[in-house]
């Protein structure tokens, strides 16, 4: 069952809504903050409410995808579920090198599992993704143990691009975009353009050469939104949104079903 991620809540998950969805059949809760595709970051107050509420549901394990944990903005700090001993015995943490160290092509990540599940996941790993090649492992080690100044510099550059994306998207007809607090994605509201999200994404790609993703590709609650990545140059971002502007000015409130 999907957890509602609402624009009016900054695209952060609500602890109260999340806890209310738990049933006796629930076995695993998957959370992601900072989030893809929305850029939402769940505030510490909601994380603490979630942890406190889980005390009433000891049968529920939590998988926390925190791969964007070092990419937050406006002085907001990432709150890791690993910092709460109350849930450590049922917490699965997912992380990796792809985002923090821009090592997407190296295809490496890591996870932290509770002891009761360790042997089971070891068997899965041996048969599914073991034997990472040696150069990739040495590169990952160098990233973790070497200077970290490049991480801060990269996040600062993403921050600058984030501001450009939000400013330019809010100039488009029928589009509004709240400011994302983490990751490198914007999730603008396109409900007033007259287009369904996937149709708009398809036509922008085919007619303008601009690649975005329709919200429904991320789940059934994503209609009315599209995802833009700003992991590209400021020049290319402005060029892409300029093409979007031309398209929407010609087709605003057209039948985009």
pLDDT in tens, the chain (257 residues): 888 899 999 999 999 999 999 999 999 999 999 999 999 999 999 999 999 999 999 999 999 999 999 999 999 999 999 999 999 999 999 999 999 999 999 989 999 999 989 899 999 888 887 788 899 999 999 999 999 999 999 999 999 999 999 999 999 999 999 999 999 999 999 999 999 999 999 999 999 999 999 999 999 889 999 999 999 999 999 999 999 999 999 997 665 55
**Measured between alpha carbons, how far is 21 from 3 in angstroms, rounded to an integer?**
8
Backbone angles phi, psi at 173, to 5 degrees: -65, 130
- Among residues 130, 67, 136, 142, the alpha carbon closest in space to that of 98 is found at 67
| Protein fold of 7-145 | 3.40.640
- Among residues 225, 212, 252, the alpha carbon closest in space to that of 8 is found at 225
In the chain, list all ranges with CATH 3.90.1150.10.
Answer: 149-251
pLDDT at 253: 63
In the chain, list all ranges with CATH 3.40.640.10.
Answer: 7-145
pLDDT at 23: 96
pLDDT at 126: 87
Pick the CATH number of 149-251 from 2.60.200.20, 3.20.20.30, 3.90.1150.10, 3.40.190.10: 3.90.1150.10
């Amino acid at each position: 069952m999907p957890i509602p991620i609402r624009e009016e809540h900054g695209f952060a998950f609500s602890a109260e809504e999340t806890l209310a969805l738990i049933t006796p059949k629930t076995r695993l809760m998957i959370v992601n903050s900072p989030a893809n595709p929305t850029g939402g970051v769940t505030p510490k107050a909601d994380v603490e409410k979630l942890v406190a509420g889980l005390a009433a549901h000891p049968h529920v394990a939590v998988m926390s995808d925190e791969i964007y944990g070092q990419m937050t903005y406006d002085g907001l700090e990432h709150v890791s579920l690993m910092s709460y001993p109350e849930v450590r015995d049922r917490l699965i943490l997912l992380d990796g090198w792809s985002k923090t160290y821009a090592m997407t092509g190296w295809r490496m990540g890591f996870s932290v599992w509770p002891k009761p599940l360790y042997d089971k996941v070891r068997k899965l790993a041996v048969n599914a993704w073991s034997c990472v090649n040696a150069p990739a492992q040495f590169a990952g080690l160098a990233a973790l143990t070497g200077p970290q100044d490049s991480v801060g510099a990269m996040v600062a550059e993403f921050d600058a691009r984030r501001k450009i994306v939000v400013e330019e998207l809010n100039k488009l007809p029928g589009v509004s975009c709240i400011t994302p607090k983490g990751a490198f994605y914007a999730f603008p509201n396109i409900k007033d353009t007259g287009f369904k999200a996937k149709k708009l994404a398809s036509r922008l790609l085919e007619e303008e050469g601009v690649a975005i993703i329709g919200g429904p590709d991320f789940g059934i609650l994503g209609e009315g939104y599209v995802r833009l990545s700003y992991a590209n140059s400021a020049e290319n971002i402005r060029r892409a949104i300029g093409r979007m502007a031309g398209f929407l000015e010609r087709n605003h409130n057209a039948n985009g079903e």
